[in-house]
Amino acid sequence: MATKNSVMVFVQQDDGIIAEVSIELISKARDLASRVNAPVSAVLMGNELRKAAESLIPYGVDLLYTAEHKGLAHYTPVPYTKVLVEIIKKHSPQIVLYGATTTGRDIAPRIASALRVGLTADCTDLQIGDYKSKGAQFQNVLYQIRPAFGGNIIATIVSPEKKPQMATVREGVMKMSSPDPSFKGQIIAEDVKLGPDDFPSEILERVKEEKSVNLKGAQVIVAGGVGVGSKENFDLILQLAHTLGGEVGASRAAVDAGYVSKDHQVGQTGTTVRPKLYIACGISGSVQHRAGMDESARIIAINTDPEAPIFQIANYGIVGDLKEVIPRFIKAFKAKV
Amino acid sequence: MGLNLIVLIKQVPDTQNITGNAMKEDGTVNRGALPAIFNPEDLHALEAALTIRDSTPGSKVHVLTMGPPSAVQVLKDSLYRGADFVALISDRRFAAADTLATSYALKCAVEKIGSYDIVLCGRQAIDGDTAQVGPQTAEKLGINQITCVSRIEDIDVDKRTITAVRSIEGGYEKIRAKLPILLTLTDEHYLPRPPSAIKLMTYKSASTEMSNTDFDESYLTSGADLKAENTISLWDINAIGADPESCGLAGSPTKVKTIDLVVLKSEDLRMIENTDESIGDMVHELIADHTLG
Ligand SMILES: Cc1cc2nc3c(=O)[nH]c(=O)nc-3n(C[C@H](O)[C@H](O)[C@H](O)COP(=O)(O)OP(=O)(O)OC[C@H]3O[C@@H](n4cnc5c(N)ncnc54)[C@H](O)[C@@H]3O)c2cc1C
């Protein structure tokens, strides 16, 4: 099999555990690769990677490049960038995808700068298509699709002239396909040449707790926006979530206003969710917010403004003050169960 | 020996203030109606730099921004809060720069200042949330980085090391690294100090002045205040020695192919009255079809 022009995924591992977003991206890479008739490749860096590497192949990785070194056990920017740049130069992928995690957002721009290629952050969709510009014609370029600042608009970004084309994607945006145990892929160990000067950062301490907010797995999400009005009022959102056994979500504006912590943010630059029920309270329904929740099975919108865009994607709309509606909702639910 | 600190800042439209009159009929934003503000996390980066300077005698804080002439406002704001030197990087040829072309111009400007120990910027700008310019500038300068820094714990000037805490998903990392380094700051720890009234009076009417001369580092060591003449340096493409082919649109590998207006069409929206009875019926329905309960 040809090894050039692959669709590559930078796989993130923490303590040997593969980040979910990396597997989601491998699933997406399979889809893109089939359109451009290319193999899927992945890069896994760390220390003692055999188990993790073998677990990745069934998701559809044709070529898995591993880089093993004691100093790569945990991510730090300088050695990771050096190794990944070499791997990309050696294998010339046409596309490289990264999870938009703290690590992905740390390394991807360094790689883009080192290779002088484009990078689009927080894509909500990726497609393959053609591109024409000033007489030049490009086939099978990566459409990097994301909401753009400026209202109800979505931009399609391309970077056709430079390879690889690169994008970051948030966890939960792409769907993970199920593994196929019979899938045959190759694990290829790369030579790692790193010296003492390549490690200018030292991790003195690392504390990682289980996520306290599990938006992605929640069946019911009650989300509050600026319309909640204050941190005190946000208690209403917590109460409704608690009553329904759901999780608490928020718009970016509610997070910025300090009503609730950033882990609760739903949307393009927060978490993408697909619960059975999403209840949007005092959220206008900006394109960035919708990008993270419009695939919810059912949506209830509670808003004082009957023209709010959120109603356009809702199944149930209640025009009213959430300070009245939520207590009614709680009362009704308690009466029925 | 003090530290040379360079802060990179951006003026951004206030995305939190997209109120009724900033919206056009078709649901797009009338940018002109949005107030332009100091990117919030950049303000924290400035505060971090000022805090370092205050505790490390002989240090200086330089602030750079790339933008249109109107971006001089965030530089003045930096002076009011205590910056020692500010410069506006502005040239038509920088227009339509993506993050790669932006970081190239910033790198050239940082190198014009010459020696530096720590470059600081906000983690991300609120009009794009990309968080790319910091790491790209670090790579172009050929230096290490620590992103998402909530707090700087220690700087050892003699050993030339920094210890900082960075936020990661569900926790934090404490990193010790060698100088020089680029840091991107979150808004978790460094509460920006207010502008000083005296400085405001001094710099309010500062004018911008084209300066193509070499950066004069003498004020760094003389201990003298920056400006007798009360001007803000304006650096164009030549002043920072940038290659026009790597700037602006020409230097940007990413192109916007299309911008699509999202048309929303409610398919099965049912309006529920804001009464106990209607809400009760809705809840009943959701329990019956196992969405709830
Ligand atoms: C690069 C970028 C990335 C972004 N990423 C995200 C993201 O991931 N997630 C996200 O959510 N946003 C994101 N945003 C921000 C987004 O553009 C909007 O600004 C934000 O979603 C608005 O939040 P909101 O709906 O809470 O506030 P607003 O738009 O101000 O809406 C408040 C709503 O509350 C209603 N209301 C007021 N009072 C009441 C009341 N008493 N009862 C009921 N309703 C009431 C109002 O009618 C209004 O519709 C991003 C923006 C940018 C530029």
Q: pLDDT tens across B195-252, in order?
A: 999 999 989 888 887 776 666 655 544 444 555 446 789 999 999 999 999 999 999 9
Q: Which residue carries 């309270």 as its tokens?
A: A281
DSSP label at B197? H
- Average pLDDT (A228-243) is 98
Mean model confidence pLDDT for chain A: 96
B278 three-state secondary structure: helix
pLDDT of residue B20: 62
Q: How far apart are CA B255 and CA B156, in angstroms?
A: 43
What residue type is assigned to position A202 of the chain? E
Nearest-angstrom CA–CA distance, A284 and A310: 6
Distance in angstroms (rounded) separating the CA atoms of residues A57 and A246: 35
Alpha-carbon distance of B259 to A301, in angstroms, equals 27
**pLDDT, position A337:** 80
DSSP strand pairing (B270-271 vs A316-319):
parallel
- B286-293 mean pLDDT: 94
The ipTM (two decimal places) reads 0.94
What is d(CA A139, CA A37) in angstroms, rounded to the nearest whole number? 13
- Higher-confidence residue of A24 and B268: namely A24
Confidence of residue B24 (pLDDT cuts 50, 70, 90): confident
Could you read off the pLDDT of A41-97 as tens digits, one per residue? 999 999 999 999 999 999 999 999 999 999 999 999 999 999 999 999 999 999 999
What are the φ/ψ torsions at residue B165 (nearest 5 degrees)?
-105, 130
Tell whether A331 lies on the interface with B, counting CB pairs under 8 A. yes
β-strands A17-18, A13-14 pairing: antiparallel
- Go through the domains of chain A in sequence order and give each one's CATH number: 7-198 (3.40.50.620), 220-336 (3.40.50.1220)
| B91-111: b (≥16 Cβ within 10 Å) or e | bebbeebbbbbbbbbbbbbbb
What kind and span of H or E run contains B110?
helix B99-113
Instruction: Mark residue B196 as left, alpha or beta (left: phi above 0; alpha: psi -120 to 50; beta: remaining).
Output: beta
Average pLDDT score over residue span A314-320: 98
Q: Which of B171, B177, B265 sits opposite A207 (nearest CB)?
A: B171
The 3-state DSSP class for residue A292 equals: coil
Task: Decide if pLDDT at A103 tops 90.
Answer: yes
Give the residue from A270, A259, A262 showing the smallest Cα distance to A292. Answer: A270
Average pLDDT over residues B275-283: 97
**Closest CA–CA distance from residue A205 to any residue of chain B (Å):** 5
Q: How far is residue B81's CA from residue B51's CA, in Å, rounded to a whole number?
A: 11
SS (H, E, C) A134-196: CCEEEEEEEEEEEECCCECEEEEEECCCCCCEEEEECCCCCCCCCCCCCCCCEEEECCCCCCH
Q: Which domains does chain B have, with CATH numbers?
A: 4-251 (3.40.50.620)
Averaged over A247-267, what is the pLDDT? 96
Q: Strands of chain A (E only): list them.
A: 7-11, 13-14, 17-18, 40-46, 63-68, 95-99, 119-120, 125-133, 136-147, 153-158, 165-169, 186-189, 201-208, 220-224, 247-250, 277-281, 298-303, 316-319
Phi/psi region, residue B170 (left: phi>0; alpha: psi -120 to 50; beta: rest), is left
Is beta strand A277-281 parallel, antiparallel or unpaired with respect to A316-319?
A: unpaired
Q: What is the pLDDT of residues B174-196, one digit of tens each?
A: 999 999 999 999 999 999 999 99
Buried b (16+ CB within 10 A) or exposed e, B19-38: eeebbeeebbbeeeebeebb
Per-residue pLDDT, A1: 58
Please compute Rg for chain B using Cα positions: 23
Number of residues that this document lists for chain A: 337
How confident is the model over A197-220, as pLDDT tens digits?
Answer: 999 999 999 998 877 789 999 999
Instruction: Determine the 3-state secondary structure of B156 from DSSP.
Output: strand
Please work out, in degrees rounded to the nearest 5, the angle formed at the alpha carbon of residue B187 by the alpha carbons of B128 and A112.
Answer: 40
Q: What angle in degrees, to the nearest 10, is found between the helix axes of A77-91 and B133-141?
A: 80
pLDDT in tens, B95-140: 999 999 999 999 999 999 989 999 999 999 999 999 999 999 999 9
- Min Cα–Cα distance to chain B from A281, Å: 13
Mean predicted confidence (pLDDT) in A164-178: 96
Given this model, what pLDDT does residue B46 score? 98
- 3-class secondary structure, B147: strand
Which of A119, A153, A276 minimises the CB distance to B28? A153
Residues 264-283, chain A, touching B (beta carbon < 8 A): 268-269, 276-277
Contact A269/A276 with Cβ under 8 angstroms? Answer: no
Query: What pLDDT shows up at residue B223?
Result: 44
Name residues 244-273 of chain B within 8 A of A (Cβ).
Answer: 252-262, 264-266, 268-273
Contact B59, B5 (CB under 8 A): yes
Nearest CA in chain B to A214: B170
pTM: 0.94
Amino acid at A102: T
Residue from B132, B148, B267 whose CB has the most chain A CBs within 10 Å, to mutate: B132
